[in-house]
Chain A
Amino acid sequence: MKKRLTLLAQTSFSALCAVSIASGAMAGELNILTWEGYADPSVIEPFTAATGCEVSATYVGSNDDFAPKLAAGGGVFDIVTPSIDSTYALIEAGFVQPIDVSRVPAFKDIYEQFRTADGILKDGKVYGVPYAWGAIPFMYRKDKFDTPPTSIKALWDPALEGRISLWDDKSALYVAARLNGNMNIYELSDAELAAAVDKLVEQRPLVRKYWATAGELVDLYKSDEVWISNTWGGYQSGLLAAENIEVVEFIPEEGAEGWMDSNMIVADTPNEECAYQFLNMAISAQGQEGVFKVNGYSSTNPVAAKEFMSDSEFSALHQDDPAYLDSLLLWENLGDRLPVYTNAWNSVKSQ
């Protein structure tokens, strides 16, 4: 039910076209635009109790939701949590402000490859505090497969007609491109993009539904509509496990994308003090434990992670092996190719 509400909240939000939930922010009130699970009461309540900063969260369904909501202006949001493919565009558009890392003492503890990532730096200034990371693996219902799928090809298998789902996002193109053998998924030429579109059009009759939110994907598995899809590694599978539906995540032969989310401060926020408190809390043991417990994502701060993860959890989440991330195709900013990718994805859905 909670997931259902999230879906409703999300839909009604888009339906109302950015009507703010709490406008005219008072001092000590933070509005964050973030992902499902990132503002869990288990983390927010102690934070509010300790700092007096009230938090209200709005959830996005994809990274494409950040820039438009900030571009609409209105000074609604104070903090956003985009992934590494969307951070740089927000910096260039002037939607976010530089972060004074001296006010974020634990910043130095974050994995070096994250805190020095191109996506959060500009002109030597830091714009984002890395918060969580993981993969975009695939997952399937264990009871429906005799031989476990190992390839993306399974999502093009006619035998699975009506049981397949893909994220309603430009990342569908990344999946199809890899199936075509194009591993340069963030720099696809027009011809390669057209080939990916053809592949997705070919797949479309087999697709039950393109999922738009985490809650929707969980619903699709729960109501027996979908047996195989891509997913946000750790999150939906965890929610499904709680519903006693056994799903297995896998990294296919064709590889998987990787992601890393950072907290950024919206330019000219009137709640800067609370914003910094939030950034600090997010990478503290308390904040990192929250995202680990709620979403099952890996931690960007190994020092904090050591405090609450067991040794086996630490290695299961590849915390001792951040080079694992290099084996993933870490999301990249598409720059001026973003509209081309988006239109390509729209054209699949227009067929």
Chain B
Amino acid sequence: MNGALRLKRALVLSPPLLWTFLFMFVPYAILLVYSFWQQKYPTFVPAFQFGNYVQIFTDPQYFRVILRTLKIAFFVSLGAALVAYPYAYFLVFRVRKPGLRLMLYMAVVAPLWVSYLLRAYTWKTILGTTGILNSFLMSTGILSEPSSVFLYNQTAMIVTLIYVFIPFMVMPIYAVLEKIPHSLKEASADLGVGRVRTFLSVTLPLSIPGIVAGFTMTFCLTFGDFIAPFLVGGPDGQMIANVIASQFGASLNWPLGAALALVMLMIVLSIITVSDKFERLGQGRFA
């Protein structure tokens, strides 16, 4: 009996474990090995040396790009949270009809089924010099000449990425807000606390895990993005993933690219660790 159970368990667990091993650990191990290799014309050769890491930490261009990427990821997450929170709040607490609520929820989530590339490309036609935004501003007389400030800069990248990743912010916030029992808000009202204070001391703290989860996801997705710089970014749009792509591509320096990818992985993992702490903090307080 015990043996049969163990066998069943092994049968159920082994495919996902095997999958994780083959497609997560093995590639990372390969990446790690590569990161110690050395570039040598025309390609690269096996070695064990730390030159690639030394280069990353001594050549200021990598630090600058990582910093820029962190900055953009922060603004995308912040912007997405500021838009997504009121929207989710409105859906959960103000929309009474379940059908309408589902429809509005799907309106945010549905774009996920459209190719990211297409959605990012759309912003080009909106923000361009001869784009929809400029045409609108000119037809209303706000601008007399088309402005070029909307496209090919970091702001355009942030706007595009907020749009692209906002479902990942709405979903977790919606989920936590939905779980907050109505009785808590009623209790707060019974105790004579106003709406604003009820929000600040009951609803908002209880929804922190959702905000943190959304923030983390948006942040990490942006941190690894390399299409937005290509489509709507300007000459100052290069992000860390673009640098990695160019190491695996243009310079054919896979060892340096692998080292950069691992540094990036470390950054993402530390972000997840910190956010996990935050989330637990939020849960611990109100559990």
Contact = CB atoms under 8 A, between A and B. Distances in A.
Contacts, number: 106
Contacts of A93: 42-43
Contacts of A65: 249-250
B274 interface: no
A351 B64 contact: yes
A320 interface: no
A223 B130 contact: yes
B128 interface: yes
Of B236, B245, B246, B249, most buried by chain A (CB within 10 Å of CB) is B249
Contacts of A224: 129-130, 146
Interface in B53-72: 59, 61-62, 64-65, 68
Interface residues of B, number: 43
A113 B128 CA distance: 45
Contacts of B62: 350
A209 B59 contact: no
B75 interface: no
Contacts of A336: 40-41
Nearest to A10: B230
A173 to B, nearest CB: 12
Contact of A346 (B115, B151, B246): B246
A204 B41 contact: no
Nearest to B240: A350
Nearest to B149: A162
B117 A62 contact: no
A335 interface: yes
Interface stretch (A51-59, A271-279, A337-345): A337-345
A92 B40 CA distance: 12
A121 interface: no
Contact of B41 (A338, A343, A345): A338
A89 interface: yes
A314 interface: no
A204 B243 contact: no
A350 B238 contact: yes
Given A225-B129, A335-B41, A64 B152 contact: no
A209 B152 CA distance: 6
A223 B128 contact: yes
A64 B41 contact: no
A340 to B, nearest CB: 9
Given A225-B148, A346-B61, A346-B246, A208 B234 contact: yes
A170 interface: yes
A342 B129 contact: no
Secondary structure call for the A interface: helix
Interface residues of A, number: 40
Interface in B213-248: 226-227, 230-231, 234-236, 238, 242-243, 245-246, 248
Interface stretch (A11-19, A178-186, A298-306, A323-331): A11-19
Given A71-B43, A93-B42, A346 B243 contact: yes
Contact of B235 (A89, A207, A342): A207
B31 interface: no
Contacts of A68: 248-250, 252
A62 B130 CA distance: 28
B248 A350 contact: no
23 contacts: A15-B226, A64-B249, A65-B249, A92-B41, A93-B42, A93-B43, A162-B148, A209-B234, A209-B235, A223-B129, A223-B130, A224-B130, A224-B146, A225-B152, A336-B40, A338-B251, A339-B252, A339-B253, A342-B246, A342-B253, A350-B62, A350-B65, A351-B64
Interface of B: 39-43, 59, 61-62, 64-65, 68, 115, 117-118, 121, 128-131, 146, 148, 151-152, 226-227, 230-231, 234-236, 238, 242-243, 245-246, 248-254, 256
Given A208-B234, A339-B253, 13 more contacts: A64-B251, A64-B252, A67-B252, A92-B41, A225-B151, A336-B40, A338-B41, A342-B250, A346-B238, A349-B235, A349-B236, A349-B242, A351-B64
